[in-house]
Structure 1
Amino acid sequence: MAGTVGIGRRGLLAFGAVMAVAACAPASRQADSEKDSEKGREKDSGQGGEKDKVRTDPVPLERRFTLLGPLSDVHWLGISLGEDSRMSVPGPIDVRVVGVAQLEAGTGAAIVAGPQRDFRPGPPARVPKKLAALMPKGAAWVRSEAFNQEVTGGRYTGEFYVDAGADRVYFDTVDPSVAASTGP
C-alpha cells in the first residue's frame, strides 16, 4: 500500500509541474502579443523611433554611393525589412535605404551623358509615403541598369533615378555597403 501512495504522490507532483508550466506559457505569449501590438500602433502613428524618422544627414549616403559625389538637401529613410515576420529564421535584418538628394551642379548631366549607361525615362516605383511629399514636382527621372550596377558594384541591390536638369537623384537600395575606398 505504501508503494501505491508513493507513486500517486510522484504522479501528482509531476502533473502539478506540467500544469504550472502550461499555465505560464499562454501568459507570456499574451504579453509578447500585447507588446507586438503596441509596437505596431507606435509605428503606424509615426512614433516608432529613429528608424521611422526621415533623415537628412548625407555622410552615410556619400560613403555608400561614391559615384554620386557630394550630396545636399538629403531626405532618406532606413526601413527594416522582414522584422515583423513570424516565420523567418532569426538573423540579420535587411534594411531598405531609400531617399532623394541634390547632386552638385552639373553632376546629373555628367552621369546621364555616359553612352555605355543607356539611361531611359522611368519614374521611381514604391516611394514611401514619408518621402512622397519631398519628391520634386515635375522631375524628369531617367534610370539605367548599367549605372545601378556601377554604383552598387554588385555588392547589394539598388536602383538610382537621376533628374539631370535639376541635378537630383532618387535611390532605393537594400543593404547598401560602404565602398571599399571609404573605410569602415
Structure 2
Amino acid sequence: MLVLGVMTVLAACTSTSKSTDDGAKVRTDLEPLERRFPALGPLSGAHWLGTALGTDSRVSVPGPTDVRVVGTAQLGTGTVAAITSAPQRIFQLEKPTQLPAELAEFVPKDARWVRSESFDLDMTGGTYSGAFYLDPGMDRVYFDTINPDISASSGP
C-alpha cells in the first residue's frame, strides 16, 4: 500500500498538465465573470478561458497555482460610455496583447480598444493583476487577469 501511495505521488509530480495550446475549452458561462467583475454590469455573449499558469513543466512543485482568466464579453448598451466618461480616468487607445489562439475568432477585428490603468486598478482593487480593454463602439470588454478575486473585484 505504501508503494502504491509513493507511486501516485510521483506520478502527480511528474505528469504534464494540459495547457490552452492543447485545446482548453472556451467557456461561455456568465456567472463566474459577473461575480468577479460586477462593476461591468450584466454580461452577455462571453467567450473566455480559465487556465492554470506554470503547470506545463514535467516537474511541478505542489502549492498554489496562478489562474489566468481571459476573454471577451458584451456589456449593456451605454456601459462603456459611462465608464470612459469618468473624469478621473484617462483612457487611451491600446490593443490587447497575448491573445490566446482559442479566443481569436471571438475578438472583433475592427474593435477600437481603449484602456485606463486607473480603471484597471479600480476593477482589481489592487489585489490581483488585470487589464480591461473597452470598445466604446461595440460596448465590449476584453479582460486579461491573473487570479481575479471575487471579493476584491468591486470595481469603481
Q: Distance in 2 between matches of 1:43 and 1:119?
A: 30
Which structure exhibits the higher relative contact order, with contacts defined as CA atoms closer than 8 Å and separated by 6 or more residues? 2
Mark the structure with the bigger radius of gyration.
1
Q: Is the 8 A contact 1:103 1:169 kept in 2?
A: yes
Aligned residues: 146
Percent identical pairs in the alignment equals 56
Runs of 4+ in 1 over 4 A off after TM superposition: 42-45
Show the counterpart of 2:39. Answer: 67
Q: CA deviation at 1:84?
A: 2.5
Show the counterpart of 1:76. Answer: 48
Q: TM-score, normalized by length of structure 2?
A: 0.83
Q: 1:6-155 counterparts in 2 under 5 A?
A: 32=11, 36=15, 44-46=21-23, 52-86=24-58, 89-155=61-127
Q: Distance in 1 between matches of 2:11 and 2:96?
A: 38
**RMSD over aligned Cα, in angstroms?**
2.6
Partner letter of residue 42 of structure 2? P
Q: Distance in 1 between matches of 2:56 and 2:153?
A: 35
Q: What stretches of structure 2 of length at least 5 have no aligned partner?
A: none
Q: What stretches of structure 1 of length at least 5 have no aligned partner?
A: 1-23, 47-51
Judged with a 3 Å threshold, the aligned counterparts in structure 2 of structure 1 residues 181 and 84 are, in CA distance, closer, same or farther, namely closer
Q: CA deviation at 1:172?
A: 0.1
What SS does structure 2 have at the residue aligned with 1:116?
Answer: coil
Higher helix share: 1
Q: Distance in 2 between matches of 1:83 and 1:105?
A: 39
